[in-house]
Amino acid sequence: MRPVLRLFLLLIPFFPAMATEQAFPPTAPGVAEFKTLPAGMLLKTTAQGSYFDQSGQLFRPLFSYISTHQIAMTTPVEAKIDGAAMYFWVAASEQPKVAGNAAGVEVIRIPERRVASLGVRGAYTRANFEQARGELLAWLAHQPGMEAAGEPYAVYWNSPFTLWFVKQSEVHVPVHPRPTP
In order along its 181 residues, the chain shows pLDDT tens digits of 444 434 443 444 444 444 568 999 999 999 999 999 999 999 999 999 999 998 889 999 999 999 999 999 899 999 999 999 999 999 999 999 999 999 899 999 999 999 999 999 999 999 999 999 999 999 999 999 999 999 999 999 998 888 999 999 999 999 999 887 6
Q: Is residue 10 part of a domain?
A: no
Q: Is residue 4 part of a domain?
A: no
Question: What's the burial of 52, exposed, middle or buried (CB within 10 Å: 0-12/13-18/19+)?
Answer: middle
pLDDT for 21 equals 87
Q: Is residue 9 part of a domain?
A: no
Q: Is residue 17 part of a domain?
A: no
Q: What is the 3-state secondary structure (H, E, C) of 1-18?
A: CCHHHHHHHHHHHHCCCC
Domain range enclosing 82: 28-177
Q: Is residue 15 part of a domain?
A: no
Q: Which CATH number goes with the domain that contains 132?
A: 3.20.80.10
The length of the chain is 181
Question: What's the burial of 171, exposed, middle or buried (CB within 10 Å: 0-12/13-18/19+)?
Answer: buried
Which pTM was predicted? 0.86
| Residue 128 host element (H or E) | helix 126-141
Q: Is residue 19 part of a domain?
A: no
Q: Is residue 93 part of a domain?
A: yes
Q: Is residue 120 part of a domain?
A: yes
Query: How many structural domains is the chain composed of?
Result: 1
How far apart are the C-alpha atoms of 85 and 44, rounded to whole Å? Answer: 7
